[in-house]
């Protein structure tokens, strides 16, 4: 499998090279040159596979130049063995045609564990093989940070720097990152918002000359293809539980950086019947407005009860645009250059294509709280605020009621006690045993100004030998 850039002029890469890369050299994002796909008969045969076996079946074509089937199997088995539910991604039914896909049974209680536990193991194997040391740099609005640190802590050959917006993640999220201490782990609280953090990460990938000794940056954000790849699997897992290939389901996805829902789009291109992909946003609704109007317009970020979705520049939308524009890299390069200078409008043809599969819905904080309370009142099931946005979108008046809906529950409610309290359900969610003493652990982080030079100086001054 070769990987190509969405902007058309960077070299094509192998999986191993893509894993070790962030942005393509032309500023684009890597996508597979072609996708494997599964026939109905193959899907029928896959329906009986457990999660690790299904992951192996789906992921092998993407990585087979770098890993043998046996090597991948061992890594996948090890990855999903650390999840606290033996189904790995269990489905819970909340209503006649409403299911929740629980993606929070990994070590850091968010869907990021699915990809980052795997990415850490793949990276470790490749770095050992190459005898190379790398520098991991990532931006987080709350969940990627701890999942990346937890996923990569076993890697011997890394330094890791995670940027989070100071004071804008939940206390549990912050503590999950900052209480993991090792000389190679650095949490940087940036006096800015997530967009600022992500922009610094992307700029650092574009020009890595601040790193000494020719070291390179590796991405843990969803600009790294391996992140997206791993997330494809749970769409198949849920779809097959609900009757694929004979019945299509619709998926409602709490969306920020567009990585999770893009994985659902790829699953549909690989043969999974998908009735609809619902882009569920909070008040930071750039993607909802884009889908409604065709205008891709930047927005001032607002702080919401769903902080992990407080994002206004959704990196992975570029990957979808590449397909919407018939994989014309030059067209994407010029559109993204125009986007750097201001707002852009997508062509009618591109929007028509997007709307064939995608719909969108915006849910504000009051609606989020009402959804948490309503679902709790009817079912005693506690949604976290991100998952509640997905569920509210799937159950909005006007949503298709004939189709089975799967809402991706992207985080555990215990990560957001303040939002749960504000919903007035009169209950709280307990942290699992391995995090029970989280509030007693000591924290380690540095507060830095919203200034890339300061961040890069910090990084180059804190690299291990
Ligand atoms: C809990 C939670 N839900 C939803 C999202 C949005 O996912 P994506 O950025 O892939 O769109 C995130 C962050 O990525 C998250 O942490
Ligand atoms: N919501 C994320 C933000 C980063 O997105 P990513 O999927 O590109 O890593 C978070 O919680 O950190």
User: Which pLDDT tens digit goes with each residue over 259-314?
Assistant: 999 999 999 999 999 999 999 999 999 999 999 999 999 889 999 999 999 999 99
Which atom of ligand 2 is closest in space to residue 173's alpha carbon? 11
Ligand nearest to the CA of 383: 1
Is residue 329 within 6 Å of ligand 2 at its C-beta?
Answer: no
pLDDT the model gives residue 60? 98
pLDDT the model gives residue 214? 83
The catalytic residue among 112, 202, 269, 421 is 112
pLDDT the model gives residue 221? 97
CA of 308 to the centre of ligand 2 (A): 7
pLDDT the model gives residue 153? 87
Classify residue 24 by its DSSP letter. Answer: -
What topology is assigned to 87-108+225-422 in CATH?
A: Rossmann fold (3.40.50)
pLDDT the model gives residue 76? 98
Is residue 187 within 6 Å of ligand 2 at its C-beta?
Answer: no
Predicted confidence (pLDDT) at residue 365 exceeds the cutoff of 90: yes
Ligand nearest to the CA of 139: 2
pLDDT the model gives residue 252? 98
Residue nearest to atom 9 of ligand 1 (CA): 257
Choose one of 221, 309, 429 to mutate for the ligand 1 pocket test, by most ligand atoms within 8 angstroms of C-beta. Answer: 309
Q: Give 156's Cβ-side CA count (13 Å radius).
A: 8
Predicted confidence (pLDDT) at residue 465 exceeds the cutoff of 90: no
Strands 158-165 and 134-139 turn out to be parallel
Is residue 193 within 6 Å of ligand 2 at its C-beta?
Answer: no
Choose one of 104, 113, 281, 308 to mutate for the ligand 2 pocket test, by most ligand atoms within 8 angstroms of C-beta. Answer: 308
Average pLDDT score over residue span 65-89: 98
ipTM of this complex prediction, to 2 decimal places: 0.99
DSSP secondary structure of 283-331 = S--HHHHHHHHSEE--------S-GGG--SS-TTHHHHHHHHTTT-HHH
CA of 394 to the centre of ligand 1 (A): 17
Choose one of 308, 310, 414 to mutate for the ligand 1 pocket test, by most ligand atoms within 8 angstroms of C-beta. Answer: 308
- Residue spans of the domains in the chain: they are 87-108+225-422
CA of 221 to the centre of ligand 2 (A): 6
User: Which pLDDT tens digit goes with each residue over 89-113?
Assistant: 999 999 999 999 999 999 999 999 9
Which atom of ligand 1 is closest in space to residue 262's alpha carbon? 10
CA of 323 to the centre of ligand 2 (A): 22
Is residue 144 within 6 Å of ligand 2 at its C-beta?
Answer: yes
Classify residue 434 by its DSSP letter. Answer: G
Ligand nearest to the CA of 223: 2
pLDDT the model gives residue 187? 97
pLDDT the model gives residue 464? 85
Is residue 256 within 6 Å of ligand 2 at its C-beta?
Answer: yes
Contacts of 269 (CB under 8 A, 6+ apart): 35, 37
Classify residue 84 by its DSSP letter. Answer: S
Contacts of 281 (CB under 8 A, 6+ apart): 255, 287, 288, 309, 360, 361, 362, 363, 389
CA of 257 to the centre of ligand 1 (A): 7
Average pLDDT score over residue span 143-151: 97
Pocket (CB within 6 angstroms of ligand 1): 110, 142-143, 222, 254-260, 308-309, 386, 410-411
Mean pLDDT of the chain, nearest integer: 96
Q: 30 vs 157, which has greater pLDDT? A: 30
User: What b-and-e string marks burial along 228-250, b requiring 16 or more CB atoms within 10 Å of the CB?
Assistant: bbbbbbbbbbbbbbbebbeebbb
pLDDT the model gives residue 154? 83
Helix 329-341 and helix 317-324, axial crossing angle in degrees, nearest 10: 130
User: Which pLDDT tens digit goes with each residue over 200-257?
Assistant: 999 999 999 999 888 999 999 999 999 999 999 999 999 999 999 999 999 999 999 9
CA of 278 to the centre of ligand 1 (A): 14
pLDDT the model gives residue 67? 98
Average pLDDT score over residue span 411-428: 96
Is residue 142 within 6 Å of ligand 2 at its C-beta?
Answer: yes
Which atom of ligand 1 is closest in space to residue 387's alpha carbon? 3
Predicted confidence (pLDDT) at residue 5 exceeds the cutoff of 90: yes
The rounded distance, in Å, linking the Cα atoms of 164 and 174 is 9
Q: Is 458 helix (H, G, I), strand (E, B) or coil?
A: helix
State the sign of the Cα–Cα–Cα–Cα dihedral 198, 371, 88, 237.
negative
Question: What is the spatial order of strands in the sheet that 405-409 belongs to?
Answer: 91-95, 98-102, 405-409, 249-254, 274-281, 358-362
269 is an active site residue: no
Contact 176, 108 (CB under 8 A): yes
Portion of the chain with pLDDT greater than 90, in percent: 94
pLDDT the model gives residue 121? 97
The rounded distance, in Å, linking the Cα atoms of 113 and 412 is 12
pLDDT the model gives residue 457? 97
The rounded distance, in Å, linking the Cα atoms of 124 and 4 is 24
CA of 142 to the centre of ligand 2 (A): 7
Choose one of 23, 106, 140, 264 to mutate for the ligand 2 pocket test, by most ligand atoms within 8 angstroms of C-beta. Answer: 140
CA of 47 to the centre of ligand 1 (A): 27
Contacts of 298 (CB under 8 A, 6+ apart): 286, 312, 313, 342, 343
Predicted confidence (pLDDT) at residue 156 exceeds the cutoff of 90: no
Is residue 140 within 6 Å of ligand 2 at its C-beta?
Answer: yes
The rounded distance, in Å, linking the Cα atoms of 72 and 230 is 12
Q: What is the 3-state secondary structure (H, E, C) of 146-172?
A: HHHHHHHCCCCCEEEEEEEECCCCCHH
User: Which pLDDT tens digit goes with each residue over 158-206?
Assistant: 999 999 999 999 999 999 999 988 889 999 999 999 999 999 999 999 9
């Amino acid at each position: 499998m070769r990987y190509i850039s969405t902007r058309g002029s960077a070299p094509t890469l192998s999986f191993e090279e893509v894993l070790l890369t962030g942005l393509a050299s032309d500023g684009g994002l890597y996508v597979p040159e072609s996708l494997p796909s599964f026939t109905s008969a193959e899907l029928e045969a896959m329906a009986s596979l457990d999660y690790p076996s299904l992951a192996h079946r789906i992921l092998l074509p993407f990585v087979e130049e770098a890993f043998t089937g046996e090597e991948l199997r061992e890594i996948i088995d090890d990855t999903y063995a650390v999840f606290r539910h033996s189904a790995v991604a269990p489905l819970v039914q909340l209503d006649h045609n409403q299911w929740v896909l629980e993606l929070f049974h990994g070590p850091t209680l968010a869907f990021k564990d699915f990809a980052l536990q795997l990415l850490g193991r793949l990276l470790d194997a490749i770095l050992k093989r190459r005898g190379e040391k790398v520098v991991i740099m990532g931006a987080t609005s709350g969940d990627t940070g701890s999942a990346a640190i937890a996923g990569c802590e076993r890697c011997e050959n890394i330094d890791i720097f995670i940027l989070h917006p100071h004071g804008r993640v939940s206390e549990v999220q912050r503590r999950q990152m900052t209480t993991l201490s090792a000389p190679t782990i650095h949490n940087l609280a940036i006096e800015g918002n997530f967009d600022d953090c992500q922009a610094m990460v992307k700029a650092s990938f574009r020009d890595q000359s601040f790193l000494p000794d020719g070291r390179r940056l590796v991405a843990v954000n969803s600009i790294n293809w391996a992140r997206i790849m791993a997330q494809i699997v749970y769409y198949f897992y849920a779809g097959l539980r609900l009757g694929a290939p004979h019945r299509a389901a619709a998926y409602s996805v709490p969306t920020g950086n567009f990585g999770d829902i893009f994985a659902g789009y790829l699953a549909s291109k690989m043969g999974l019947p998908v009735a609809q992909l619902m882009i569920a946003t909070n008040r930071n609704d750039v993607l909802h407005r884009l889908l409604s109007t065709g205008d891709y317009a930047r927005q001032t970020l607002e702080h919401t009860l769903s902080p992990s979705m407080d994002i206004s520049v959704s990196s992975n939308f570029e990957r979808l645009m590449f397909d919407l524009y018939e994989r014309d890299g030059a067209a994407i390069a010029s559109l993204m250059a125009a986007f750097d200078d201001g707002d852009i409008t997508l062509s009618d043809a591109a929007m028509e294509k997007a709307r064939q599969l995608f719909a969108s819905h915006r849910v504000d904080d009051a609606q989020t709280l009402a959804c948490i309370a309503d679902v709790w009142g009817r079912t005693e099931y506690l949604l976290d605020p991100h998952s509640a946005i997905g569920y509210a979108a799937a159950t909005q008046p006007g949503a298709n009621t004939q189709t089975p809906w799967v809402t991706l529950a992207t985080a555990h409610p215990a990560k957001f006690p303040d939002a749960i309290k504000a919903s007035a359900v009169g209950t709280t969610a307990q942290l699992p045993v391995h995090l029970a003493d989280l509030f007693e652990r000591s924290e380690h982080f540095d507060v830095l100004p919203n200034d890339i030079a300061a961040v890069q100086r910090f990084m180059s001054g804190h690299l291990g030998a």
